[in-house]
Structure 1
Amino acid sequence: MKFIVGLLLILCFCPLKALAFEKLTPKVSQNPFYYLKSDYAMPLLSKDEQNNRASGAKDRFFLPWSGDFRHSKDDLLWPFNAYLPGKVYGENERPREKRWFDEIYSKAHIEAFKDINAPGITIAEGSLRAFPTHDPIFLSPELSGEGYPFDYGQVSRVNPGEPIRISHFSRDNSFAYVETSFAAGWIDSRKIAYVNEGFIDRYMPLPLAVIVKDDKAVSKGNLFIFNVKIGSLFPLNEELLYDLELLVPTGKDEAGLATLEAVRLPRDFAKRWPIEFSQWNAASLIDEMMGETYGWGGMYGKRDCSATTRDFFLPFGIWLPRNSSAQAKSGTFISLEGLTPLQKEKAIKEGGTPFASILYKPGHVMLYAGSYRGRVVVFHNLWGLRTKSKGVEGRYVIGRSVLSTLDVGKDLPGIDPDGLLINAITGMTNLL
């Protein structure tokens, strides 16, 4: 009897948490190949158009190795003005005190900004941080949709082999303030190395290869080097029958200069970049990314919504910025504001291209993947759907990458209609 009462209490008070994503409606296939059209092998871009896009993406990728450090001291100082003592919280859910900020400010060595201003490279997967610390900062856990995992100290995950420019080091040398092609922030100094002219002359002119499998270990013999994800780029040294030989940074010498080794990876692991932009290849990448745990800012080596779209498009030679609002401005934008849900779906199906258009709502971006029984289907990595009960806002957590309709969760008890994707999206961006 006690068991039955307890079970009833759980069902009464935790109805949302008891439901899995698979039980949400409307249901759609989680197999991306389901959404392919009959011309799935036809390229979405001509070879010349794709090579032109890839040339621009390659220039962006290597941008930190040319010219000056592009971010300003204001960019470096921005987090100290945006996050204030008593207004943000630590991992213990207690407010960060002024003393913590004072210590971090001193550690940031602001007066040394751009003193080094030298090219470098990441020699392992790492994270860009807003401050020179791994300590998290959260908004109040009392706020709906805040607290863990939304660490505002996390800027972005960075792949190994990313060209960077080094501004300066923290006062204790444990962090370096760097910029990549897509963001700036503090990175663990053990994850980077300097590069000299000889390194650049060997690394930069070669064609590139792209990783097309997720969370794979790269090793040289029995020596583990680093993990890679889809979208990681490395110079292609040689194409062999069954493998590609890539040049990868493996560490640094006593002077802090990057060391370089040739490693061989199977052809189903890495491909010559850019890969042909077809529906089939698009579905293959989505299939690899399906079900990945949500990772705010790339935390724990995972992806958030904009990292998912960025890493999806880069293998095809299409470069996107890192955050969702900037991505929405990276092509031909079509406003969907003021339209009814039916009008929005009609506009998407008539004006968008599956696998080549992204849908945007403030704070979230999705890839248009096709349709199911006339309904628009998107691929995205999302944290959750907004709920409301007795005026109190909450979240129904999904926390992974899925294929869904735009009104997924509409039948959930307590769902906030304004929080449904179809009601919140404001535009579509065509990238071709």
Structure 2
Amino acid sequence: MRIFRYVLVLSCLLSVTACGQKKIPVDSVVFVADEKKISQSPMVFADTLPFAERVLLDAQEQQKNYAKFKKHFTAAWKQNKPYAGNLAFFRSYVQVAGEKRGYAENLHRWSDKEYQNLAHNAQYERFPSVAKNALVIKDTSLRLAPTDKPYFINPKKPGQAYPFDMFQNSILKTGTAVKVFHLSYDHAWYYVEAANASGWAHSEHIAFTSSETEDLWKNAADYVAVTKDNALVKSSVLQESVSLGSVFPLVAENPYGYTVAVPLRSEYGEARIEHCHISKDAAVKMPLVLTAGEVARLSEQLMGNVYGWGGMYNNRDCSSTLQDLFTPFGIWLPRNSAQQAKAGQRIMLTDLSDKEKEERIRAQAVPFQTVLYLPGHIGLYVGQFENKAVMLHNMWGIRIDEFGRFIVGKTVITTLYAGEELEGFDSSLMSRVQSLTILGKDDEF
């Protein structure tokens, strides 16, 4: 099942059906009720904890997690061949029969001509054509085919239309180590595999590495993690915006900031390293000590962030929100929700009633260290509101009947009964929750 570890088709939809009791019509509200009555500030929840600044992982546990993070950080460079199953999966997207194809940006099925051109450009008959180490030099999307054009399953059905472009697989941040295994016919795309995702990336966003560059990335004494979105790394020749969760080798430190190694791309496609400054209010030397207060402070800036299917438009979905949030703490999380649910001490909840799940979560989940998983979705447990478990999560929407969605489309803090006041609501997040996982503890991944 390796393919599911590297090929990600992620869904953060919340499925509910019709209900007989009187409900608030969907078109009469702008927010779900939880958004109105529950504070949308993570710090409010952290401030209620008697142990908000208590260290949640001891030194040995944190170093164990950080060692695992560093191992994953450049793991792609150790690959000699693409992971089993990925070729068949990617190839299937450009060889599907016409009547089974998805829909293009004009809301008509992809035509034979378009698909023939796509298949020709992918030239899978030559796959893999190269095997070269590289770095991402600019945040870039990973696509399931070498094209920026969308692939919607069915534009008339909720959950199968915008924004769910099935060609959008994930996003890779500046500084990510990748292995390039294939080139498109026009050389505009590289097929790459990273430690947690794979896909087609724009070749102009990828630079091939030398042994010296690889040694710097693998063996740096320390690493710096970005703790703010749209942070600037800059030198006399470069000023680049980077996002929370980006990681760079540390070159030097002064009272005001860090000098980090940032990759650029030469005109010949090779990586060139630029020493850039980033301020200490936008970055931290890893690993940041894990406390509820620190997680809350970082997550504060994520509230209200627009939902991004598979990283679309450089926005986050449910799993990438958690991945970026825990990177500064040296905790490596996989890219999809099902694998993230295994990345710590996992407690299964599947045989419990909703009431029993609520009680188990409130009793055993550690605020700001525990994630709650349900099929296709994941969120961070941050505490309680009116004796109900509350989580921070980036969600697209709530199904209100067979044909509609109430669109949330951002990062919110809610109970696990979000949307219960909406007309058509019938089931809850709680009814689908399968497990809770305490991150950094007895990691199974």
TM over 0.5: yes
- 1:333 offset after TM fit, Å? 2.6
2:357 maps to which of 339, 344, 354: 344
Instruction: Name the structure 2 match of 1:77.
Output: 88
Does residue 187 (structure 1) correspond to residue 190 (structure 2)? The answer is no
Instruction: Name the structure 2 match of 1:169.
Output: 183
Give the number of aligned pairs. Answer: 411
Instruction: Name the structure 1 match of 2:374.
Output: 361
Q: Deviations over 1:235-294 (max 9, x none)?
A: 011111111111101x22233211111111110101001111011110011101111000
1:430 maps to which of 411, 435, 438: 438
Provide the C-alpha distance between the structure 1 equivalents of 2:266 and 2:238, rounded to a whole number of angstroms: 17
Q: Is the 8 A contact 2:34 2:414 kept in 1?
A: no
Q: 334-343 or 393-402, which moves further after superposition?
A: 334-343
Does residue 218 (structure 1) correspond to residue 218 (structure 2)? The answer is no
Distance 1:424 1:304, change over 3 A: same
Correspondences of 1:250-289 after superposition (within 5 Å): 251-289=264-302
Does residue 105 (structure 1) correspond to residue 119 (structure 2)? The answer is yes
- 1:315 offset after TM fit, Å? 1.4
Instruction: Name the structure 1 match of 2:17.
Output: none
1:46 maps to which of 45, 58, 77: 58
Q: Deviations over 1:12-61 (max 9, x none)?
A: xx942442226447721111111121221111001221011111111111
Distance 1:114 1:56, change over 3 A: same
Provide the C-alpha distance between the structure 1 equivalents of 2:76 and 2:35, rounded to a whole number of angstroms: 46
Aligned AA (1:211):
V
Q: Is the 8 A contact 2:388 2:415 kept in 1?
A: yes
SS in 1 for 2:399: strand
TM-score normalised to the size of structure 1?
Answer: 0.91
Instruction: Name the structure 2 match of 1:396.
Output: 406
Provide the C-alpha distance between the structure 1 equivalents of 2:201 and 2:87, rounded to a whole number of angstroms: 13
Does residue 374 (structure 1) correspond to residue 387 (structure 2)? The answer is yes
Q: Is the 8 A contact 2:35 2:412 kept in 1?
A: no
Does residue 150 (structure 1) correspond to residue 164 (structure 2)? The answer is yes
Aligned AA (1:385):
I
Q: 75-84 or 29-38, which moves further after superposition?
A: 75-84
Q: Is the 8 A contact 1:41 1:279 kept in 2?
A: yes
Instruction: Name the structure 2 match of 1:332.
Output: 345
Q: 372-381 or 102-111, which moves further after superposition?
A: 102-111
- 1:430 offset after TM fit, Å? 2.3
Q: Is the 8 A contact 2:216 2:249 kept in 1?
A: no
Distance 1:261 1:22, change over 3 A: same
Provide the C-alpha distance between the structure 2 equivalents of 1:320 and 1:60, rounded to a whole number of angstroms: 10
SS in 2 for 1:204: helix
Provide the C-alpha distance between the structure 2 equivalents of 1:76 and 1:84, rounded to a whole number of angstroms: 18
- 1:170 offset after TM fit, Å? 0.4
Q: 177-186 or 308-317, which moves further after superposition?
A: 308-317
Provide the C-alpha distance between the structure 1 equivalents of 2:319 and 2:31, rounded to a whole number of angstroms: 21
Instruction: Name the structure 1 match of 2:8.
Output: none
Instruction: Name the structure 1 match of 2:12.
Output: none
Instruction: Name the structure 1 match of 2:39.
Output: 29
Q: Structure 2: any 5+ residue segments left out of the alignment?
A: 1-23
Distance 1:378 1:170, change over 3 A: same
TM-score normalised to the size of structure 2?
Answer: 0.88
Aligned AA (1:355):
F
Q: Structure 1: any 5+ residue segments left out of the alignment?
A: 1-13
Q: 140-149 or 299-308, which moves further after superposition?
A: 140-149
Provide the C-alpha distance between the structure 1 equivalents of 2:132 and 2:35, rounded to a whole number of angstroms: 53
Provide the C-alpha distance between the structure 1 equivalents of 2:112 and 2:333, rounded to a whole number of angstroms: 37
Q: Deviations over 1:373-411 (max 9, x none)?
A: 3211100000011112xxx33210000001111112111
Q: Is the 8 A contact 1:86 1:97 kept in 2?
A: no
Instruction: Name the structure 1 match of 2:419.
Output: 409
% identical aligned pairs: 34
SS in 1 for 2:301: helix
Q: 180-189 or 16-25, which moves further after superposition?
A: 16-25
Provide the C-alpha distance between the structure 2 equivalents of 1:119 and 1:232, rounded to a whole number of angstroms: 19
Instruction: Name the structure 2 match of 1:114.
Output: 128
- 1:202 offset after TM fit, Å? 2.8
Correspondences of 1:236-247 after superposition (within 5 Å): 236-247=250-261
Q: Is the 8 A contact 2:34 2:415 kept in 1?
A: no
Provide the C-alpha distance between the structure 2 equivalents of 1:224 and 1:258, rounded to a whole number of angstroms: 17
- 1:413 offset after TM fit, Å? 1.8
SS in 2 for 1:314: helix
